[in-house]
Structure 1
Amino acid sequence: MTPELLYRLMVAEFAVQRGELDLGAELLLRAARDTSDPRLAKRAFQLSMVGRNFALANQAAQLWALVAPNDPEAVASSLALSASSGQTAGLSAALWKRIENAEDKDLAIGQAAAIVGKLSDKRAAFEVLNAALRALCAIFPSRTWPWRMRHWAAQDAERALVNARRAQELDPSSEQAAQRLLEYGLKVDPAAALASAQAFVARYPQTERLGALLVSRLAERGDYTGALALVQQMRRNTPENFDLQFTEAEVNFRAGRLDAAKALLNDYITVQTQRRLSLDDKASDAMADASDARLMLVRIAEQEGKLHEAIEQLKRIDEPALEFQVRVHEATLYGRLGDLVAARKTIESITPQSDNERAVLAMSLASIYRDAGRTDLAIQTLAKANTAVADSAEIKYDLAMLYERQGNFQAFERLMREVMALRPDDANAYNSLGYTFADQNIRLDEAQRLLEQALSLEPDNPYILDSVGWYLYRTGDYESAAEYLERSYKKLPAADVAAHLGEVYWAMGRKEDARKIWAEALKKDPGNDVLVKTMQRFGVK
């Protein structure tokens, strides 16, 4: 440890403390390269993952595996990052070597499956793992079932289900096999899958993971009675598991049984408060659990329109990790109440720890002003933040959209191009500028280039599909316009999209279809300005 290295490490850690994760990770990665110290490479990898800088994380993982070739965590991280970026060369051989050297072959197979699961091409993932396990399967045929589960990722649900059944036959008490059977079966035969899972839980009542999964799936399918009956039975079997009380509250909340949910949550908070008093905070998750319950009470109060009650619940949350989120939410609720002074004071009371938090505060306050109809104050807030926080694509984007709303298209275009320069892979910026050109029926050639770029980045984004459809309408290609707008409306049945689609139908002579879709959208969003003005232009009441 030289003075120079100590200084570099301190600078890196100070950067992390300020929230500058990318800078801290980069500094640590450089130090790791200079010292070949795997601890520094691991720390750089972890920080990069937290900051979602996957390119930097990949570099750190590769170095970590290089300087610590016998560290299974380092090798697994390196392989996983390679898989996530689509790098499959040598992956099968590396996975087989890990499995061959592992004492617990089943665990190693599961880890290998998780690694290839990060590949975007699921059939390629299956082929990689297939090659890695070919020799093992000849020696240990009973171990092939985790590998065969990759058929699921390759979109072969029926075959995956067959193999899940075989896995359960090999080990009828395997909770993992029962979980697979439920998940795959829901895609093939939902009724049979649910019945099988319920039978397994009845046979093995201490099965908590499958039970929790089954509760979730029943609730997702709208079977709240079944979900509640199951979670209540689980609570009777394991009364010491207080998490199930929270789960029961969640199901009641989703079912719209708000009074029952509130009663359960308040009891849960009482229990967690008692736990917190009897245990050291550092050794207990009681504070976080109570905070989760209060956050759900906030959602319930908002759903009931009791915003003052929601604010009161937020004020009672004392979990340090949630402080920033809670105060911003509190300011937003003041804004919804129309108390802009309290909203601004709440935002100003928060001390940001990083440029990212400064940006969030500015955008939150601007959003509050915008929703209150004070576009002037929203622009003033973001313009100031755009100067204070250098190169924030998020601030520039939000400010650009406000300028567009105000009719200042020159400033809108300038900022959108700055966003594109900062984030060349940001589809939203291309889409926003391209749509604006198409909507104004100007510079259509440039609009086409911008929208093609946006579509190449996010081909299934309903907002982009709507923009492309609107551009095609402007160019007179009504058939193609209708196709894109129908795809958009199927994914995003919003009034703006309905307004565009109805106008295209009208131009095609399909006036009844236009009236039908406008009427449908009007029921959901009667005050939508775009929809109302579109109908007025065509004389439709």
Structure 2
Amino acid sequence: MDFKYTAVLSALLLTACAQAPKREVEPPAPPVEKIVKEEPQPTLPNQDLTAPMLYEFMLSELASQRGHNDLAAATSYDLAKKTRDPRLAKRAAQLTFGTGQMDKALEAFRLWQELEPDSPLAQRMFVTLLVSGGRLSEAQPHIADMLVKDKPNAGRTLMQLYPMLAPYPDKTMVLDLLRDLTQPYPELPEAHYLIAQAANAKSERALALDEIRVARKLRPDWEAAVIFEALLLREQPSEAAAKLKEFLATHPDARDVRLNYARTLYEQKKWVESRIEFQKVLDNEPGNSELAFVVADISMRLGELDKAEAQLKQALEKGNKDENTLHFYLGQLNEAQQHDAEALGDYRAVKAGESLYPAQLRIAFLLNKSGKLDEAREQLHQIQPINNQQRVTVVLFEAQLLRDAQQYEATYQVLNKGLEKLPKHPDLLYETAMVADKLGKYAESEQLLRKLIQIKPDHAHAYNALGYSMLERNERIDEAVSLVEKALQIDPNDPAILDSAGWGYFRQGDLNKSLSFLRRAYAATPDPEVAGHLGEVLWMNGDKAEAEKIWDESLKANPGNAQLEATIKRVKHL
């Protein structure tokens, strides 16, 4: 080693000591005997360690530590080719894989496998890389070789294979590949299970059922197989339940099978039988809050609200670790029984976890319900959302409370504040536009709706809202009808859009076409606003008796509706 080389290497090492991040203490390595048993020792080349080799090795490792992955991988691969050392080839493969460059990674893995042909790890990782890269044909002979080399564990290898193949888009190719690979192993239940999975993914249900039944015959006590068979029989729920029940008769401790049996009964609305099965699992898992709620939910469906409450409280008394979830469920139960004060107490007992956010929303709802709007808003302001969707929900929730209180200017301010933080969120744009229109800020409403249409060209209600606003003001009628017709193209059966179309054609003077759309809208939803439009067009078309009938029906269903009453009064005095 000459002085110049020594100086460079020393500088690199000193820099690494100063800048390299500290590594966490690693757990102790397993005993050498275990390593030898699992992975055979590679044959090492008769190669002396030279200064240039050491330099390249250190350069590669330092580059890796500092995030220069391409340099680290290239240097390591070059060194592995020069030395033919399988240990360096393994390291090169690992580094190259980290670069995300598929072709170079494959070269490195091929070198590792070439230098260490007896390494199961090298072969498995190479196969994984080929499959993840979609090179199934290239991977097939290597997979077949893996199965042959480790035939005692072929079943386990097959079961590990499908999760890698499942995302592959060509389901026919996956099925054909697996048929070829499993053909030499007809005695393995895993082989048939694998074909059943692939056939199911390809929507060949009959083949999937045939294969899973062969798997069950080969291994009658296999829980996963009977669950899969029941899944394939989901369109015949009674038969699926019978299969699960039959298995439980001889395997009463099969937890997952029992849960699937309970769910199947639940889906068939066999509440009593379903509760019995869920309860059996819950008896063995008293700390399972989700199961406790399912049992309580069934009791609620059976009208046994007291029993449901007792079941949830019993779970709490047993020291359930997830007390927050149980308190949330109790709050839901008390709300269902209209015990709002008790529900409020339960929601306030939720202090953390996934139930905290919905519990806080329910607190705000109940406070507002009891006439405490200011407290409800303060509660919403204390919520700490964890993502943008939660932030938007909180803003829309507060806006709805204010809208219900007819505080439209305050509603507008809340929504505008939300838009300042999320100026392109479709829900905020739409709701702000609606309130702006309500306040007579028509230009601003139009600007917001056109921005929404630019962001989401398929937003039918944005077109409809913009067109309907013009129609209500009796302005730019042809443009308004064009906007509504665009909404109709996107969503041709929406009652609100049908109503707008009918109202637009009325503004254009086409009463017959108007009536056609308004009748469809009213049949879909007998809303008082739609009733007002339909009655007015009928009245103007000379059919006053039917108009009176439509209005009377709507007033009976919506007594005191100010908008409908105003429409009737205006039309009758025309």
TM-score w.r.t. the length of structure 1 is: 0.64
Moved more, 374-383 or 71-80: 71-80
| Aligned equivalents of 2:299, 2:349: Cα separation in 1 | 23
Paired-residue identity, %: 20
One-letter amino acid of the counterpart of residue 185, structure 1: L
- Cα deviations by residue, 1:240-274 (Å, 9 ceiling, x for unpaired): 8676444322322344422211111111122235x
Cα gap change, 1:242 to 1:521, in 2 (>3 Å): same
1:225 and 1:354 map into 2 onto residues whose CA distance is 40
- 2:483 corresponds in structure 1 to 446
Q: Contact 2:430 / 2:449 at 8 angstroms: preserved in 1?
A: yes
CA offsets per residue over residues 96-153 of structure 1, 9 Å max, x none? 589656863332343146424xx6xxxxx53242244242143335514433345545
Whole-Å separation in 2 of the counterparts to 1:336 and 1:433: 33
Partner Cα distance (2:378, 2:444) in 1: 29
Query: Is the CA contact 2:237–2:264 (under 8 Å) kept in the aligned structure 1?
Result: no
Match of 1:319 in 2: 352
Distance 1:302 1:359, change over 3 A: same
Cα pair 1:498 1:517 within 8 Å, conserved: no
Superposed CA offset, 1:341-399 (max 9, x none): 11122123345667665544322211221233333321121123323544443322221
The correspondence of residues 139-538 of structure 1 with structure 2, limited to 5 A, is: 139-141=184-186, 143-155=191-203, 157=205, 160-187=208-235, 189-235=236-282, 244-273=291-320, 286=321, 289-319=322-352, 322-351=355-384, 358-406=391-439, 408-423=441-456, 429-430=462-463, 432-433=465-466, 442-443=478-479, 444-452=481-489, 454=490, 463=494, 467=497, 471=501, 495-496=526-527
Q: Which has the larger radius of gyration?
A: 2
Tell me: higher relative CO, structure 1 or 2? Use CA pairs within 8 A at least 6 residues apart: 1
8 Å contact kept, 2:501–2:514: no
For 2:386 and 2:163, the matched residues in 1 are separated by 37
Letter of the aligned partner of 1:174 in structure 2?
W
Matched, 1:105 2:157: yes
> Deviation digits for residues 261-319 of structure 1, max 9, x if unmatched?
1111111122235xxxxxxxxxxxx2xx2222111112112212222222211111111
* CA 1:421–1:195: 2 relative to 1, 3 Å: same
* 1:272 partner SS: coil
In structure 2, relative to structure 1, the CA distance for the partners of 1:252 and 1:466 (3 Å cut) is same
Aligned equivalents of 1:33, 1:432: Cα separation in 2: 52
CA 1:154/1:319 → structure 2, altered by over 3 Å: closer, same or farther?
A: same
Distance 1:235 1:295, change over 3 A: closer
Distance between the aligned counterparts of 1:340 and 1:414, measured in 2? 31
Aligned to 1:41: none
Residue aligned with 1:319, SS: coil
Q: How much has 1:223 moved relative to structure 2?
A: 0.9
Give the counterpart letter for 1:198 in structure 2.
Answer: K
Contact 1:413 1:433 in 2 (8 A): yes
Contact kept, 8 Å, 1:437 with 1:447, in 2: the verdict is no
Equivalent residues of 1:112, 1:129 under 8 A apart: no
- Where structure 2 has 5 or more consecutive residues not aligned to the other structure, the ranges are 1-14, 22-64, 73-96, 110-121, 148-153, 506-511, 539-546
- Deviation by residue 1:44-88 (Cα, 9 ceiling, x = unmatched): xxxxxxxxxxxxxxxxx99757497779999989989x9xxxxxx
Q: How far off is 1:169 after superposition?
A: 2.7
How big is the shift at 1:470? Answer: 5.9
SS at match of 2:234: helix
Tell me how far 1:206 sits from its aligned partner. Answer: 1.5
Change (3 A) 1:218 1:386: same
Measure, in 2, the Cα distance between the counterparts of 1:32 and 1:404: 57
Between the aligned partners of 1:317 and 1:77, the Cα distance in structure 2 is: 46
CA offset at residue 331 of structure 1?
Answer: 1.5
Name the residue aligned to 1:135.
180
Q: How many residue pairs get matched?
A: 448
Quote the Cα distance in structure 2 between the aligned partners of 1:194 and 1:172.
Answer: 17
TM-score normalised by structure 2 residue count: 0.61
Kept in 2: contact 1:495–1:528 (CA 8 A) = no
Letter of the structure 2 residue corresponding to residue 140 of structure 1 = Y
**Structure 1 portions without partners, runs of 5+:** 8-30, 39-60, 83-89, 120-124, 274-285, 508-513
Alpha-carbon offset, residue 236 of structure 1: 5.1
Question: What's the C-alpha RMSD, in Å, of the aligned pairs?
Answer: 5.4
- For the 8 Å contact 2:429–2:452, the answer to whether it is kept is yes
CA contact (8 A) 1:218 1:227 kept: yes
Q: Quick one: structure 1 residues 178 and 126, their matched pair in 2 at CA, closer, same or farther if it must change by over 3 Å? A: same
